[in-house]
């Protein structure tokens, strides 16, 4: 349940999906921003930004493809959008590395179109502090190493208060099941956990992968099944989840391997990651 920097065999696939979704997201935000005078909620004479929030930024190692570097590369190439980018990192040491690495590459980036905020905060304490305008839109990204319900609760609340914000998650379905089963077991194996520690997992009782999807409060949700990662061996299943309230959002081309949760395949995937012990 660790939220520090991690890298595994699935990282290249995850980064590719993030890159492709960012491309689609930029097209969407550009269209909305450029056509605001044509839609019902006019935002003339208001301060409007496109918000992008990386809730688990890590250290942005130079020379490697990381989520902060991908956000910066994509977003600095868009000169016709006013953007605010938040990079959140809870671990003080990793945060310090993040700041140093950002400052090292900043001179090579034209950030004139955006404001970048790097914060050493736990996301469940900082997200409520981000004040978005009434007409704000953009993307929240969260890619932890494990699963900590308090962090997801912060995302649920943030999305409820900012319904135009889309969300992209890399969810450890393996850890959800482990946490739920640990409380249901109600026993102490080899003295590893005390009764009090097991009781602390009560909050995971009856919390399933489908519970998380429901609590995102998004009309349209897509899932990436780990089965596409045919040559990858991993002890954990991380399922990428994208949610939006935009009805005409298209997941085709490089994102065609994402399945809608409302179609037949999506239903099978939800059942698979709710209950099975192993996933491919």
Residue 94 confidence (pLDDT) above 90: yes
In this structure, are residues 81 and 95 in contact, taking their beta carbons and an 8 Å threshold?
A: no
What residue segments make up the domains of the chain, in order of their start? 11-275
Superfamily classification of domain 11-275: Vaccinia Virus protein VP39 (3.40.50.150)
Instruction: Report the mean per-residue pLDDT for the chain.
Output: 82
Pick from 8-12, 157-161, 170-174, 226-230: least confident: 226-230
From the list 45, 66, 49, 65, the residue with the least C-alpha distance to 57 is: 66
Mean pLDDT score, 30-34:
78
* pLDDT, tens digit (0-9, with 9 covering 90-100), for 56-72: 999 998 888 899 999 99
- The pLDDT, as a whole number, for residue 8 is 56
Reported confidence tier of residue 189, pLDDT bands at 50, 70, 90: low
Give the DSSP letter of residue 88: E
CA gap 114, 56 in Å, rounded: 20
* pLDDT, tens digit (0-9, with 9 covering 90-100), for 206-233: 889 999 999 999 999 999 877 665 555 5
Of the two residues 148 and 240, the one the predictor is more confident about is 240
């Amino acid at each position: 349940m660790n939220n520090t920097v991690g890298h595994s065999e699935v990282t290249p696939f995850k980064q590719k999906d993030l890159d492709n979704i960012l491309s689609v997201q930029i097209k969407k935000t550009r269209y909305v921003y450029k056509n605001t005078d044509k839609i019902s909620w006019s935002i003339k004479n208001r301060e409007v930004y496109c918000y992008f929030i990386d809730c688990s930024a890590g250290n942005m190692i130079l020379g490697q493809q990381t989520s902060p570097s991908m956000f910066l590369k994509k977003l600095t190439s868009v000169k016709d959008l006013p953007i605010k980018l938040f990079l959140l990192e809870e671990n003080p040491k990793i945060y310090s590395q993040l700041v140093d690495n950002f400052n090292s590459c900043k001179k090579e980036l034209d950030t004139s179109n955006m404001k970048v905020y790097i914060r050493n905060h736990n996301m469940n304490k900082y997200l409520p502090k981000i004040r978005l305008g009434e007409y704000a839109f953009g993307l929240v990204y969260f890619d932890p190493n494990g699963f900590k319900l308090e962090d997801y609760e912060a995302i649920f609340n943030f999305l409820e208060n900012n319904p135009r914000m889309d969300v992209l998650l890399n969810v450890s379905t393996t850890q959800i099941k482990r946490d739920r089963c640990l409380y249901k077991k109600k026993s102490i194996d080899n003295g590893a956990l005390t009764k009090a520690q097991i009781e602390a997992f009560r909050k995971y009782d009856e919390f399933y992968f489908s519970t998380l999807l429901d609590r995102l409060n998004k009309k349209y949700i897509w899932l990436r099944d780990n089965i596409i990662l045919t040559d990858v061996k991993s002890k954990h299943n991380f399922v990428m989840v994208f949610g939006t309230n935009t009805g005409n959002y298209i997941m085709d081309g490089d994102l065609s391997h994402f399945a809608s949760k409302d179609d037949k395949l999506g239903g099978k995937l939800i059942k698979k990651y709710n209950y099975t012990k192993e996933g491919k």
